Every structure is written in structure tokens, then in C-alpha cells.
A and B are shown apart, each in its own frame.
Chain A
Amino acid sequence: MPSWLHRVLQFSPDSLFSTLSSAFQTRECRMSQLPPALQNLLSTAGGPADDAWAEFAREYSALLLHVARSTTRGRDEAMDAYAFLLERLSEESCRRLRGYAASPNSKFTTWLVVVARRICIDYNRIKYGRIRHSDSSLERERLSRRRRLEDLSDHVENVDEVADENGTQPDDEVEIAELSAELRSALSALPPAEQLLIRLRFEDGLSVSEIAQTLRYPSQFHVYRRINAVLATLRTSLRSRGFESAAS
């Protein structure tokens, strides 16, 4: 017997009523937290009414067009993506929007931006095929290694310069490989939040202001302070693994 059925059978009528009313109140509470246009749209049983959908589209058209424009080139493309976006949001009686309403854990506009962007990327994939990431991945990796090495120590910078030249010495290659391995190991031992910060800065090459915006730091200064603290931890870790000059 499924466990949920077992639990249902164990309910007395009173407890079942209590549970159902609690579930109903929770749903009511969630619905009351939704933006009015969304609440109105989803409150229609059996699918959204035309006027409720029109109100929703009007309310969020600026946001949806903003996302469509950011993921396409040219006005016509943006409008096509916008139409695709509305179609996807309304399909299956607004399945995606009902999914948000079932457990809202963020501001609706934040969620809508994330979902709308994903739908627009789907639109581009359908129209143009999957975007190849190989070039950007290579560039990211090249940037990653260079930035990581530049910032850790003078010793590492010297190795990096040698590594950029043709005809790298075998000893240098070994040293770079060892340092990279130790660095990866030290990085993976950091708490996730610190790993994320370091990877955004040194693997993805984000500016400090972009990181502050993305991770909601109060200012760029806070990002610098945090990065310096994490780099100090990494240096200490490398020192303990025998990379003395990297830690100097």
C-alpha cells in the first residue's frame, strides 16, 4: 500500500477535516501573496479568462519585452520571441505560472525574468539550433588559468609568463600542472559561497561591480574585501602544500 494512502486511512474524520482546512488556508494565504494580475489570472477555474490574460500581459509586457530584446537581435526578432513567450506562458492553462503560485519562494518578477529568459533561449534554439559553446569555453578556460595565476603570487605570475611563450620548459609545465592541481584542490575545499565568488571573478572574469550586483553585495568594496580574504585562505592552503613562493 502506498505510504500516502496509509496515512489517509489513519486519519479520523476530524483530523482529515483539520488537515484539509489547513491545506486550504495555506493555499489561500499563498494566493493572497501573489500579484493581483497573477492572482486574478489563476483564480479562474478551467483556464484563464481572456480579460484576465490581457490584464496580465499588459502588466508584465515591459518586463517580458525587456527579456525578449536582451536575448535576440533586432526588433522583429524581439517581437517574435515576445509572442513565443506569451504563448508558452499561457499554454496548458498557464502551467508555469501555476507552478510558481503553488510555492512562491521569490518575488514574482524575479521568477518571471528567469523563466522568460529560459523560454527565449528555447526560442533561439528552435529557430537557429543549439548554440555551440566550444569557443567560449576555451576562452573561459584560458582566462581562468591566467587570472588565477596572476593573482595568487609573484611566483605564479612568473610561471604564467613562461607558460604563455612558445617552447615552454618541461620543468615549468610540471610546475604549472602541479600548481593548477593544488589550486583546484584548495578551491574545492572552500565553502560553496566562497567558491562561487572566486569562480565568478577568476573563471568567468566578471568585474567586481558585476559581482556586487549579482551576489547583492552592498558595494564593490565589500566584494574586494571578501575576495582578498578568500585569496588569503587559498594562499595559506597552498603554503601548507609546499608552494612557498605562491604564498608570499
Chain B
Amino acid sequence: MGQATRLAHHEATAVSPTGPLSAEDLAAYLDGRLTGRELERVEAALAFNPDARAELVEAARLIATIPARADAPKRQRILTVAVAAAAVFAIVLLPTLARKPARTQADTERRGTPEAARIQAISPSNGAVVPPTEAHFAWNSVSGAVYQLTLTDTNGGVVWQTTTGDTTLALPAIVKLEAQRSYYWNVDALAANGSSVTTGIRELKVGAK
């Protein structure tokens, strides 16, 4: 790592809980990339410091209003292709899909509002291989939500299920995963407004001992 990079990295990490936030922290917070203690630290700094809050608000406003790039012709072509694809979808596939059973009430409740239909699972990535004795789960937060993590084997048997207010969990030592087997996990969030959102089912592979 060169001197310049070291200096920049230092700027990014040397942050006191009540001091000014680094650009990296603020950007990660705006993107919803922070979890656990990092998230709490940044939220506490923002709550404490009105100038940091003002910067947060202004940055969020700027991001929401970033103009499209000046390569309009390329975008126009993409838009044309998208419209054409949508037309094909409507003519060819929609009648087929329309014959499928209607979504049940339970499905609708489960899915919640369209924009909040999923929580983004952060780790392990789908299909990732983890050691038999060590699995750490992380997902993006849903404001004010309580989370339930469920780990099942390939037959659907629940291996571990727990509830937390945090967005990270480590597999407890008492839960033994068999080496070289697959498991499935998902996190459901019960949001403050009563709706439920999920990460969806994700696969986890256990490596050799």
C-alpha cells in the first residue's frame, strides 16, 4: 500500500464515535451497507452531530437528483429495446401467466409492499461454503424490525431457528452442521408497520472437517 493510499485509508477509518464521520462511513450508511455495531456507531454520531445530519440530508438529496449521463443516445437505444421486450412479453407470455392461480392472501401479506419485498442477505453468499463449526449470517436492516433466522436441512427439517433485533448472527456452538452437506437459510423481518419481508431461501454448503 503506497503512502497516498495509506493516508486515504487512515482518513477513512480514524473516526471517533462523536467526531465527524468519514466520507466512507457516510456513503456506506446512505447505501445501507452498515450493520451491527458499525451501523450503531454511525447512527449515534449522526444523532449527536447536527452538522453531520445536515450533510447526510444534503447528500441524500443530491444522490436522489443525480442527472442522467450525457450519453442519451445509448440510453434511448436501451429504452427502445426494453419497450420492445415488454411488448413481446405482453403479447406472448402474459396470456400464459394469467392462467396461473391468483396469489393467495397469505402470499400477499408475506410479500408486503413491492419496494420492501426483500431484505438483502449479505453473508454467507448464496451457495457459499462455510466451515462446519463456523457460520456467520448478516443481512441488511429493515427499520424497527425484528428478525427470525431459520436454518433447515435439505429435507426441510428445522436445524436452528432464532429471533433477534440485530442484523448479524453467529451459529451457536451447540448447533452442529454436518460436513459436506447443504443447508438452507432465510431471514424474515417483521417490520414496524406489521408487514413481513424476507431474504428468500438461500443455500449454504458446509465444507470438509
Contact = CB atoms under 8 A, between A and B. Distances in A.
Interface string B35-51: 00001100110110011
A186 to B, nearest CB: 14
B43 A100 contact: no
B7 interface: yes
A115 interface: yes
Interface stretch (A7-15, A198-206, A234-242): A198-206
Contacts of B68: 62
Contact of B143 (A118, A200, A204, A215): A215
Interface residues of B, number: 52
Interface in B78-98: none
Given A61-B70, A62-B70, A226 B56 contact: no
Interface stretch (B22-30, B100-108, B129-137, B153-161): B22-30
A103 B31 contact: no
B4 A66 contact: no
A218 to B, nearest CB: 4
A98 interface: yes
Contacts, number: 146
Interface string B96-129: 0000000000000000010110000000000000
Given A62-B70, A66-B67, A109-B66, A199 B53 contact: yes
| A: interface residue count bin | 35 or more
Contacts of A100: 8, 24
27 contacts: A62-B68, A66-B65, A66-B66, A70-B58, A93-B4, A99-B9, A102-B1, A103-B12, A106-B27, A106-B28, A106-B33, A111-B27, A114-B26, A114-B30, A114-B55, A192-B40, A192-B43, A192-B44, A193-B144, A196-B47, A200-B57, A204-B53, A204-B54, A214-B56, A214-B60, A222-B192, A225-B192
Interface of A: 59, 61-63, 66-67, 70, 92-93, 95-96, 98-100, 102-103, 105-107, 109-111, 113-115, 117-118, 133, 137, 140, 191-193, 195-196, 199-200, 203-204, 206, 210, 213-219, 221-222, 225-226, 229
Given A113-B27, A114-B55, A115-B23, 5 more contacts: A114-B27, A192-B44, A193-B144, A200-B53, A204-B57
Interface of B: 1-2, 4-5, 7-9, 11-12, 23-24, 26-28, 30-33, 39-40, 43-44, 46-47, 50-51, 53-70, 113, 115-116, 143-144, 191-193
